[in-house]
Structure 1
Amino acid sequence: MRSPAGAPMSRRRFLTLSAAGAAAGAAALNGCALQVAGGVRGGGGESVTMMVNDGDIAPELLKQAHKELGIRITLVKNDITRLIAMITNGDPPDLVRGIGALDTPYFAARGVAEDLDPYFATSAVLKAGDLDPVNDLWRYDGTTQGKGPRYGMAKDFSQDSMFWYNTSLFDKSGLDYPPETESVTYEEWLEKAKRLTQRRNGQTTVYGGSYNGLGITVLLASLTVAAGGSLFSDDFTRVDFTAPEARKALDWYVGYAKARVGPSLIDPDPNTWDGPTYQAGRMAMSGNGYWLGGVFAADKQLAKASRLAPAPHFEGGTRISSCQGGTGLWMPKKARNKDAAWRVFEWFFGEGPAKDRASGGWGIPTLKSLRPLMPHQEAYQKQTLKVQEAELKHFSVVPFTPYAKWDALDATTNQIIPAAMKGEMPVSTLADRLNAGMNSQLKRGKEQVG
C-alpha cells in the first residue's frame, strides 16, 4: 500500500481513509483536547503545520509557542477528507491529531505514518524507559497493535472502563460503596445502577449509571476482551458477535440500555455527555476514567463526594483496564518539516505543556517521570491516586483492526442496535446483522490495503 518514494499516493488506493468522517466531537468531550502551554528553549525559525480540532490550541498559545520554541505553528482543522487530499497531493500536515487506540493500525497499515523510533532513540526528552505502557497503543508491527515501531504518542490518558461514583447518592440508596482496589462484576455494576436510578412521573431524575465508553465499537471490543475473548479474528479481517465472549458483551450492553439506568441510543442524555449530568447530581455512576475528575475538580463539595473505582470484570472473565482513547499526535511520512515537527512533538509531550497537563488532573501523564505532578494535596485526591495507581497494573492494549475506520464501524452499529435495545430484535439477530455489516467493511478495507 506504500506509494513509490517521493510520489503522491493514489487517491483511489487511499480512498478507504474517508470512511465516515473524523467524528471530532467525541474525542473533544472525553478530555482529550490538545492543550499547549508552558515554556521551552528557542528554536531556529522553522514552521510546522498541525491538523487539530477547533479549540485544541488557542491563538495566544500559538504566539507563546512561537516565542518560546522559535517555531511558527499553523493550524489546519482536523478533517479526514482534507487530510486525504493533503496526503494524496503530497503536502500533508507535519503533525496530525489522532486517537492512539483506534487510529494507529489504520494509518500505519496504509504506509502514511512515519516510524518515529529513530527520533525516540536519540531524544533527550522522550526516553524509552520513561514512556508509560499506554504509549504502546501507538505501536504497530504490521500485524498487531501494541508491538513494533512507534508512530505517535499519547498526550495523557485514562483507563476508560473505570468509573466514578457519587457517595451521597449511594448513601441515599443505602448501598455499600464499590471497593477501592477490587473489581466488581459488570453484573453487579448493572444491579447497583438499577437500584440507584430515580424516576418521577415516568421521567428519569437520576441516572443510576452511565456506561458507553468513548465509542460503541471500542467499548464492545473492550467488553469482549473482559469476557475472555476477542471481538476481532486473529488477522483482524472479521468480527464475530456470535462467539460466546462477544455475545456476552453484547448481551450486557443491550441489557444496560433496556434497563434504562443510563444514557443510550434509545435514551439520550439531553446534555449529550456525562459531565454536566454528573456535576448536577443526576448521575450516580459514570463509566469514565481518571480524566473526568478534572471536570468537577473546581466543585469541592462534589469532588469530596466522588470516588474513582476500578474497571469491572465479567464473572468468569478477565480483569483488564484498557485505554479506549490515548489521543495524541502522529507524523505523516510525507511531512516536509520533520525535524521541526519533532521538536514541537518533544516539547508538547515532554516539557512545559506536558507538565501543565499533568498538574491539571485531566489525565494521567504518559511519561512516568511526570506522575508526581498529578494533583495529590487534598484527601480526596490522595484517594483517587491510590485507586488509579493500583489500577495501572491491569492495563493492557486491546488491539483494533487496521481495515476499517472506527467511526464507520460505529455508524453501522448505531444504525442496527437500537431495535435490540427496544426489544424489537433478538440479540441473536443483532449479532448476525452486526457481523454482516462490519465484515463487509472489513473485507473492502483488506482488499484496499492488500
Structure 2
Amino acid sequence: MRGSLGTPVSQAALSRRTLMRGTALGAAAAAGAGALSACAPSAGGGGGGKKTLTVMGPEGEFSPEFLKAAETELGVEIKRVEVDATKLTAMLASDTAPDLVRGLGAVETPYYVARDLALDLDDYFASSELLKEDDLDPVNDVWRYDGSVQGQGPRYGMAKDYSQDAMFWYNTALFDAAGVAYPSESEPVTYDEWLAMGREVTQKDGGTTTVYGLSAGGLGLFISLANMTASAGGSLLSEDLGTIDFSSPEAQKALAWYLEYARAKIGFSPVEPNPDGWDWPPYQTGRLAQSWSGYWFGGAIAAEPELAETSRLAPAPTMGGERISPCFGATGYWIPKASKNHDEAWQLFELFMGGDPAKERAAGGWGLPSLLSLRADLPTGTAAQAQALAAVEAEADYLKVLSFSPYVKVEALDAVLNQYLPDAINDDTTAGALADTLNADMQALLDEGKELVK
C-alpha cells in the first residue's frame, strides 16, 4: 500500500478544513456540474417534487456554490448539516438518516459495518465510469470490512484524500533562532531525539511560553499512543481487536514518553491545552516550531509564502521497532443503509470523489488523492511543495494502517484519556499505574460494544 490517510472528525479536524472554504471546491462548482450531466438520474419525488439529499459534511468540503451546481445537474435539493456524532446517532435512530456522511475509514469502518449501518457500495463501484477499481489507491481498502478483517470484503466508502499522519512539519526559522540542527528529511528521528529537539527550540519569556517546541497531540490522544506503541513493536489492541492493554513493554514505553512530553510543558497537552483548538494558528504565527501533522498541512502552509519558505516535512519518528509511517484517518464519505436515496447519494459521492472537486483538492495539496490518476495533479510549484512531496514519496514504503476495533468509537477512548491524564501528569503518576486505570475503563467500553454487536 502507498500513501497515507486523512484526518479525523474532531472539532479540530473540522476547523482546519474550513480553511478551504471558498477556494478549491468553490472554484470547482461550475466545472463539476459538467461531470454530472452524463449520469444525472430523474430524481423527482412524489407529486413531481424534488428529492432532498442530506449531506453531513463541513462547508469547506461542500461549499454552497458546489451544492448549487450539483442540485441543478442532479435535479435534487441538497441540505448540508455539520458533522456531529450525536446528531448522526439521532438521525439514524429516527428514520431520518443523512444520505452522505463524512467519516474516518481507518477507525470507523469496522464500527459502522458491525452495526449494519453502512451501505455496501461494491455494485456502484463496479459500474462507475469515474471510480474504477484499478485507479483506487490501495489506502482505500481501509473502507473495506468483511466482519472480521479490515481491508477485506465489500467497500463501504472511500477516502477523499489522505496523508501519512505521523510525519511532522517543522519551521527552520525557529530552529535557526535556537541554534538547533534540523531533523533529517530522509531518516527518522527517534522519539527521544524528537523530544530533545522540542525542548531546545521552546522559547519562554519568564513564565510565558512564546514558542512551543513540539505539538505531539497528532490527530487524537488514543491514535497517537497506538501509533507510538506500534512504532515500538507492539499493539494496544489484541489480534481480535476486543482487548486493550497499556501494560505491555511497548505500550508502557509510549505512555511514559507522552507523560514526559506533557510534564515538560513544551507543547500542547491536557494540562497545557491549545487555545486555538488545533496546530495551524500557532504554527502560522510562529508560536509553534513542530507540528505532528501529515502532508495535508501543506495545503495551509502554501497560502503563506514566507512561512512556506521555512517549512519542511520530516519522516515519522520511530520508537525502536520496525520503521512505520501510519495513516490514521483516510477521511472520506459513506452512505448509510437507512438512506432513502441510495442512487442519488451515489451520484453525488461519485462526482465528489472522482470529478473536478477531486482534481481541485489534489491541486491544492490538501492531501494525497485517493485516485492514482490524480497523483500528477499534486503541486510542486514551490520549493516547499516539492520537498513535501518528495518526503512523502520516500516515506511510502513504510506505510502501515493500524486496525481499529469495531466495538468502540475512538472518541470514547479519547474521553477516557482526557479524564485521567491531567491528574496523572500533575501528580507524577507512573505509566504502570496509569495503565491499570486505562485498561479497566477502556476494556469496559469494549466489552459493552461486544454485547451490542453480537
What residue is the counterpart of 1:13 in the other structure? none
Match 1:309 to one of 300, 307, 314: 314
Tell me the distance in 1 between the aligned counterparts of 2:395 and 2:138: 13
What residue is the counterpart of 1:355 in the other structure? 359
Percent identity, aligned pairs only, is 52
Contact 2:301 2:308 in 1 (8 A): yes
Match 2:285 to one of 280, 285, 310: 280
Contact 2:242 2:407 in 1 (8 A): yes
Secondary structure of the equivalent of 1:98?
Answer: strand
What residue is the counterpart of 1:110 in the other structure? 115
What is the 5 A alignment of 1:424-435? 424-435=428-439
- Taking structure 1 as the reference length, what is the TM-score of the superposition? 0.90
Contact 1:183 1:312 in 2 (8 A): yes
What residue is the counterpart of 1:3 in the other structure? none
| Unaligned 5+ runs, structure 1 | 1-21
**AA in 1 matched with 2:36:** R
**AA in 2 matched with 1:41:** L
Tell me the distance in 2 between the aligned counterparts of 1:197 and 1:320: 27
Contact 1:146 1:397 in 2 (8 A): no
Secondary structure of the equivalent of 1:307?
Answer: strand
Tell me the distance in 1 between the aligned counterparts of 2:378 and 2:82: 30
Contact 1:31 1:292 in 2 (8 A): no
What residue is the counterpart of 1:194 in the other structure? 199
Secondary structure of the equivalent of 1:369?
Answer: helix
* CA shift for structure 1 position 143: 1.5
What residue is the counterpart of 1:397 in the other structure? 401
What residue is the counterpart of 1:440 in the other structure? 444
Tell me the distance in 1 between the aligned counterparts of 2:417 and 2:206: 32
* CA shift for structure 1 position 257: 0.7
* CA shift for structure 1 position 30: 4.8
What residue is the counterpart of 1:247 in the other structure? 252
* CA shift for structure 1 position 326: 1.7
What residue is the counterpart of 1:44 in the other structure? 41
Match 2:271 to one of 266, 277, 280: 266
Q: After superposing the two structures, state which structure 1 stretch, 229-238 or 40-49, moved more.
A: 40-49
Tell me the distance in 1 between the aligned counterparts of 2:129 and 2:106: 26
Secondary structure of the equivalent of 1:41?
Answer: helix
Residue 91 of structure 2 is aligned to residue 86 of structure 1: yes
Secondary structure of the equivalent of 1:178?
Answer: coil
What residue is the counterpart of 1:388 in the other structure? 392
What residue is the counterpart of 1:138 in the other structure? 143
What residue is the counterpart of 1:340 in the other structure? 344
Secondary structure of the equivalent of 2:238?
Answer: coil
Tell me the distance in 1 between the aligned counterparts of 2:120 and 2:453: 18
Tell me the distance in 2 between the aligned counterparts of 1:351 and 1:58: 15
Contact 1:24 1:78 in 2 (8 A): no
For the structure 1 residues 30 and 311, does the alpha-carbon distance in structure 2 shift closer, same or farther, using more than 3 Å as the test? Answer: farther
Contact 2:104 2:331 in 1 (8 A): yes
Residue 327 of structure 2 is aligned to residue 323 of structure 1: yes
Tell me the distance in 1 between the aligned counterparts of 2:208 and 2:82: 40
**Deviation per CA, 1:216-239, whole angstroms, max 9, x where unpaired?**
111111111111111101111111
What residue is the counterpart of 1:207 in the other structure? 212
Secondary structure of the equivalent of 1:112?
Answer: coil
For the structure 1 residues 82 and 164, does the alpha-carbon distance in structure 2 shift closer, same or farther, using more than 3 Å as the test? Answer: closer
What residue is the counterpart of 2:4 in the other structure? none
Tell me the distance in 2 between the aligned counterparts of 1:77 and 1:262: 30
What residue is the counterpart of 1:376 in the other structure? 380
| Unaligned 5+ runs, structure 2 | 1-7, 44-50
Tell me the distance in 1 between the aligned counterparts of 2:414 and 2:296: 23
* CA shift for structure 1 position 45: 4.2
**AA in 1 matched with 2:272:** D
**Deviation per CA, 1:234-287, whole angstroms, max 9, x where unpaired?**
111111000111111111111111111111111112322211111111111111
Contact 2:142 2:150 in 1 (8 A): yes
Contact 1:164 1:288 in 2 (8 A): yes
**AA in 2 matched with 1:112:** L
What residue is the counterpart of 2:11 in the other structure? 25
Match 1:150 to one of 144, 152, 155: 155
**AA in 2 matched with 1:369:** S
Contact 2:302 2:385 in 1 (8 A): no
- Taking structure 2 as the reference length, what is the TM-score of the superposition? 0.90
* CA shift for structure 1 position 24: 4.6
Tell me the distance in 2 between the aligned counterparts of 1:146 and 1:41: 30
Tell me the distance in 1 between the aligned counterparts of 2:81 and 2:283: 33
Secondary structure of the equivalent of 1:396?
Answer: strand
What residue is the counterpart of 1:227 in the other structure? 232
**AA in 2 matched with 1:44:** P
What residue is the counterpart of 1:414 in the other structure? 418
**Deviation per CA, 1:185-238, whole angstroms, max 9, x where unpaired?**
111111111111111112111111111111111111111111111110111111
What residue is the counterpart of 1:121 in the other structure? 126
